[in-house]
Amino acid sequence: MPDYTGDIAARPIGAPQSKAGAWLHRFANPGRFQRLVQPVLPWLTVVAFLTTVIGLVWGFFYAPADWQQGIASRIMYVHIPSAWVAMNGYAALAICSLLSIVWRHPLADIAAKEIGPVGAGFTALCLISGSLWGRPEWGTYWVWDARLTSVLILLFLYLGHMALIRAFDNPQHGYRAAAILGLVGAVNLPIIVFSVYWWNTLHQGNSISVTGPSKIYVTMLYPLIVCTIGFYLAFAAMCLGRISSGIMENRARALLLAQAERGDA
């Protein structure tokens, strides 16, 4: 009787070598994941929805216009959070790829597969909103600036990961190839972050700092923080929901296969 994780369960999962490995293996159990996530998911979805709506309404209707950019600065409440989520989403995908390659966690493969489309959506939103800001401010939708180009590469990495993971008849080959791409693609993340310092770019430098004072006034910072929290929660809710769906689909497939093998389906 195959485990309900389906084809993924057929992979040889090595015994944990360390305390960290043992801890990870414990939480790599899809059944435990479902028990933890399913009660939380509806609440997380509601909180994510409300926070995002409050942040967007605050940013669009009530945030003050910038003294230089005017109301075009309101695009910032969409553009910056989507950029952060896109980058950190890829960092999560790279961590899942590492877990998949090193420990062969079944859940890491499903997580990497499901993070891809959501991360690609946020990256596309970052590029679209940036282009819509660039037209009135720079006079063009697009320039081959280091920051813009490196974010476009991030979108291609997401799309490549999504294509590669589905490109093989044997899902294990797809997971392995996509994990290597996911890990190698993480090199692009510091390039995105530091591109505005390494090259002369049209894109402005960072206005917000975690360690030092931010260059943005609080009346604009607060809606930006709310939007950022909302976008992160939405990303988490979508990814957890999709991972949970993936586990359930694998389980249903495994049960049907088991029935078919016995010839009584």
Q: Does 255 bind another protein (CB under 8 A)?
A: yes
The least distance separating another protein from the CB of residue 260, rounded to whole angstroms, comes to: 11
Q: For another protein, which residue of 9, 54, 72, 152 counts as binding (CB under 8 A)?
A: 72
Question: CA-CA distances (angstroms) from residue 26 to 2, 21, 32, 243?
Answer: 19, 9, 8, 17
SS3 label, residue 70: strand
Nearer to another protein, 209 or 259 (CB): 259
89 makes contact with another protein (CB under 8 A): no
Q: With beta carbons less than 8 A apart as the criterion, state whether 125 and 78 touch.
A: yes
Considering beta carbons, is residue 160 or 241 the nearer one to another protein?
A: 241
List the x/- string, 14-53, binding to another protein by CB under 8 A: -------------------------------x---x--x-
Q: Shortest CA distance to 100 belongs to which of 166, 164, 172, 158?
A: 172
Does the footprint of another protein cover residue 248 (CB under 8 A)?
yes
Shortest distance in whole angstroms from residue 65 CB to another protein: 8
CB proximity list for 154: less than 8 A, separation 6 or greater? 86, 87, 90, 123, 185, 188, 189, 192
Choose the binding region for another protein from 7-15, 103-111, 211-219, 237-245 (rule: CB under 8 A): 237-245
Residue count of the chain, please give it. Answer: 265
Q: How far is CA 189 from the centre of its chain?
A: 13
Among 82, 97, 150, 195, binds another protein (CB under 8 A): 82
Q: Does 125 bind another protein (CB under 8 A)?
A: yes
Among 103, 133, 158, 175, binds another protein (CB under 8 A): 133
The token pair at 235 is: 């990303």
> Among candidates 52, 107, 38, which has minimal Cα distance to 85?
52
Question: Which positions from 52 through 71 interact with another protein, judged by CB under 8 A?
Answer: 52, 56, 60, 70-71
Q: Angle at the Cα of 205 (from 202 to 210), degrees rounded to 5?
A: 160
- Say whether residue 166 binds another protein (CB under 8 A): no
In terms of CB distance, is 80 or 192 closer to another protein?
A: 80
CB neighbours of residue 138 within 10 Å? 14
Contact flag: residue 1 with another protein (CB under 8 A): yes
70 pairs with which residues across the strands?
66
| 80 contributes a contact to another protein by CB under 8 A | no
CA 144 and chain centroid, separation: 24
Task: Determine the interface stretch with another protein among 91-99, 151-159, 215-223, 235-243 (rule: CB under 8 A).
Answer: 235-243
Say whether residue 159 binds another protein (CB under 8 A): no
